[in-house]
Structure 1
Amino acid sequence: MTLVPAADERGIRTLTLDSPGNRNALSAALVAELAEALTAAGKDPAVRAVALTHTGTTFSAGADLKAPPNPYAFVALLRQIVELPKPVVGVVDGHVRAGGLGLLGACDAVVASAGSDFALTEVRIGVAPAVISLTLLPKLEPRAASRYYLTGERFGVPEAVAMGLVTAPDTDLDGILDGLRGASPQGLREAKRLVTARVLETFDRDAEELVQRSASLFASAEAREGMTALFERRDPEWRL
């Protein structure tokens, strides 16, 4: 059974994160299947754009702490979304946490239902949103990024739109997809190259350093305590 089924409708290929049992956590298997599905979409001349959505109540809970992907594989996936020669639209109807926000940051547009919410929860388990900064920090309003990186607070769609994480409410989805259907493949490819150039500069400059920083944090004593507390459903020892 695939973790990322695909469906086509009028030039839009919908890829669905379909691992609701672990809240679509970014496991090694899911990351590999999504990368494969994106490669196929990028090569298919019948595909004008990709919609990336989910089953269940959570778009993605972030990294699968029990079966995590290789960090370089996750960086490659984020870059693949940014470099795909076709627009990628994230479609959220529920919760997004931690690494899931990195996927949204890589998308060219994101829509979300009114009840959706978001949180950068890494600080709650003793790490930091290091690797996903590659796609988030070039796009987020700096003061909002500082608040939510540091506090791990939940925030809703209005805040996500204001800070640059979400493009529009999901009521705009049909209009966005119709606009993409009306654009030429060459026009979309070249326009996307313009708007993603600065994000790709960040990958070239910072990816290796952020992978190493992330690995160091996850190997730390504080991260072990944070993850243990999470699995045991208790407060970590640093909670005041």
Structure 2
Amino acid sequence: MAISTTTENSTTRITIDAPDRRNALSPALIRDLTDALDAAAGDDGVRSVILDHTGSTFCSGADLAAVGDTPPEQVTAGFIALLRTIVDLPKPVTAVVDGNVRAGGVGLLAACDMAFVSPGSSVATTETRIGVAPAMIALTVLPRLSSRAASRYLLTGERFDADTAARAGLVTEVVDDPRAQAASTAEGLLKCSPQGLRETKRILNREILDGFDAGADALAAKSAELFATPEALEGITAFLQKRPPNWAV
């Protein structure tokens, strides 16, 4: 299993643990994460969740080497279900980032209620560089980012640093020790009632969930359609072969 889960002081820490694959979102990892989140949601002894990672990458997005074995529609449905699980979880979810975040990983980060990030971390939504679009992550990223930042970074796929991510609204705070900050925040949440947290989160995320209801199916279909095109095949092949795609100049 590419995740590990521990619960201490009423906080469940779910750690993405596939550093050899840059914590990429394979279909199996998506299922395991969703199951772990569902378990935390159903445990009355858990008051909040921390989403952590091993290695130098929080999440690099879709596991392009693995998704080829699974129908695109199945992959997109699973990923959107994972994002919605985080947004709709009746307990706060805090992301810890100490390294790189790319593509689908940015959507995962944005789905969390809070995100503490180390100064050396970097972010990029790289979908346009492999011939697809950030369709699914738009559900969680667009409500967080300022519109000008979204236009720049989703179109260009360029990398931006932690301070820029904070100014754009994508992360909560840049701190030297994001794990310590997440633990301290989780301890503070123990002073809050479960009902108060649940209902406050529902208020905060109402518009994001409305976006899922209104557009998730269409965005999932568009993503699956794009991944099946010749341009995406070239982009993914070029990525795996570590070369520029044929449109890059």
TM-score by length of 2: 0.93
For the pair 1:197 / 2:206, whether they are aligned, the reply is yes
Deviation at 1:174? Answer: 4.2
Partner of 2:240: 231
Partner of 2:33: 34
Distance in 2 between the 1:71 and 1:235 partners? 25
Partner of 1:61: 60
Partner of 1:120: 125
Which stretches in structure 1 are left out of the alignment for 5+ residues?
none
Distance in 1 between the 2:11 and 2:46 partners? 6
Partner of 1:47: 46
Distance in 2 between the 1:5 and 1:225 partners? 34
Q: Is the 8 A contact 2:22 2:56 kept in 1?
A: yes
Partner of 1:76: 81
Partner of 1:213: 222
For the pair 1:6 / 2:40, whether they are aligned, the reply is no
Amino acid at match of 2:197: L
Between the aligned residues of both structures, percent identity stands at 52
Which stretches in structure 2 are left out of the alignment for 5+ residues?
68-73
TM-score by length of 1: 0.97
1:113-149 superposed Cα distances (whole Å, 9 cap, x missing partner): 1111000011111111001101111121000000000
Paired residues, what number?
Answer: 239
Amino acid at match of 1:99: G
Amino acid at match of 2:217: E
Amino acid at match of 1:23: R
Distance in 1 between the 2:204 and 2:185 partners? 17
Distance in 2 between the 1:181 and 1:153 partners? 39
Secondary structure at the aligned position of 1:5 is classed as strand
Amino acid at match of 1:37: A
Amino acid at match of 1:104: L
For the pair 1:181 / 2:190, whether they are aligned, the reply is yes
1:37-94 superposed Cα distances (whole Å, 9 cap, x missing partner): 0111001111110000100110111001122362111111100001110000000000
Partner of 2:71: none
